[in-house]
Amino acid sequence: MGEEKKEKKRKHHHQSKDKEKKRSKSLHTLDSLDVKFDSSVTPVLATFPGVSVPEDTKFQAYSGPKGHYVIHGETERMEYDGQNDPDEDLYYVGVYDPATRTVELMHTPVMTTTRTIKAYKKKAIAAVKQANVQNRVQRNALGEAFGTKKAKRVISDLERNKIEAEKLETYADSIVDNIKTATENLPSADALREQQSEERPIPPCDEGADDLNNVYPLYDLVSKEELVAIRVGAIFREKDEKKRAALLPFKNSEYINSRVARINNENEMQRLKLLYYASLLMGLYNNRRTSNKRTLLQKLNHPAEILVNGLIQKFTDSKVGKVGREKDASFTITPKMEDKLLCYLFVTCLRIDEYSVETPLLAAELSLRPTRVQDLFKALGCKIRPCTSAQKEALGLTNAEAANYKLATLSLPFSLPELARRRRTAQSRR
């Protein structure tokens, strides 16, 4: 009896030790616990209420802004879509690493998923399309029965012009070929820009210029030969303002005469030549109905012939005349050439006035609407601005007059505006 009791105690002791060993194996001591809110890898929890998803179904997870996540998976027959609610994502997943004896707690979005049967989805789309067709048919039937003549005509036009996509499938290739044939000769974007540049009625310009004097180069405005031919010595030596004005090609311009009167230094001879050329352009504009060279020479106070030849070449179109007449003896100034003439005049004025010109004065002298003058200055790349307080005082303007007194200013960086697509009406040219 005593030996049996000892044996039982020995077995019980061994069993207790085994249990302690097993318990010690199942328990691990953690060295650290790390909580991660932002991680390159985000685990996702998805719930599939009442749905058994095949184990081989593959899902893709997509992240969006502000903590939004979406998952999508599909099989041959089913589609599964799920999304989370960022305000309800209060779950974490612990990832244990036995090598380092650490646990990482990662913030985990919870997806609520729904399933869709693919076959039913296609039928639903077809049903919606069919419903739309039926509604249109019923609406047209009501319109034909009770609609006005205008409504019936609209329904008839729609039916007659209706295109059925199924019937076009057989002609798809020929349609594409016809489109390619029709568009193969269309100009490229660079060619269009070059064509638009040629259509502008402005002098040649350099959009990359870093100096205002180089934006519209002087010799593209008036050639070297023409500048040499402009003789202004007699004008400079004449002290009487009226006699000075009488030596100009166009005598009735307050804009030109007031600036010529202020020149009394030999260093300003280049500016005086530009004023003479501006007077020449203004004279040509005021005599734009003249159609022959001899008459034009008389009306412009007999300037050097090279100057008149330059005007005829740049700003007129030759007119068909009698056989044997000189080419430049008969000409006309078209509306397009009229715009070109005004643009050359305005660029000359910009050089004279150091790139800030009073537009109301020019509009009054040329009998043009202020808006047309402003539009042409804008086409030259100018900004239209109201005059400043200092300019208002210098010009002696009231507040009401200053509100409508605009200045055209050319500044850097220089850029030309986009060409307008619409044509200017005849009324807007006045």
Q: How far apart, in whole angstroms, are the C-alpha atoms of residue 33 and residue 39?
A: 16
Q: How far apart, in whole angstroms, are the C-alpha atoms of residue 290 and residue 330?
A: 9
pLDDT in tens, the chain (430 residues): 555 555 555 655 555 555 555 554 445 555 665 665 555 667 888 888 777 888 888 888 888 777 788 888 888 888 888 888 777 766 778 878 788 878 887 778 888 888 887 777 655 555 545 555 567 777 777 777 778 888 888 878 777 776 666 566 666 767 777 777 777 666 666 655 555 556 788 999 998 899 999 999 999 999 999 999 999 999 999 989 999 999 999 999 999 999 999 998 889 999 999 999 999 999 999 999 998 889 999 999 999 999 999 999 999 988 755 544 544 468 899 999 999 999 999 999 999 999 999 999 999 999 999 999 999 999 999 999 988 888 788 878 888 888 888 999 999 999 888 765 444 444 444 4
Residue 114, both tokens: 């729904």
Question: Could you tell me the CA-to-CA distances from 383 to 169, 172, 278, 379, 414 in Å, in that order?
Answer: 54, 51, 21, 10, 10
Q: How far apart, in whole angstroms, are the C-alpha atoms of residue 409 and residue 19?
A: 97
CA 253, 259, 262, 266 dihedral sign is negative
Q: How far apart, in whole angstroms, are the C-alpha atoms of residue 108 and residue 44?
A: 6
Give the count of beta carbons closer than 10 Å to the beta carbon of residue 382.
24
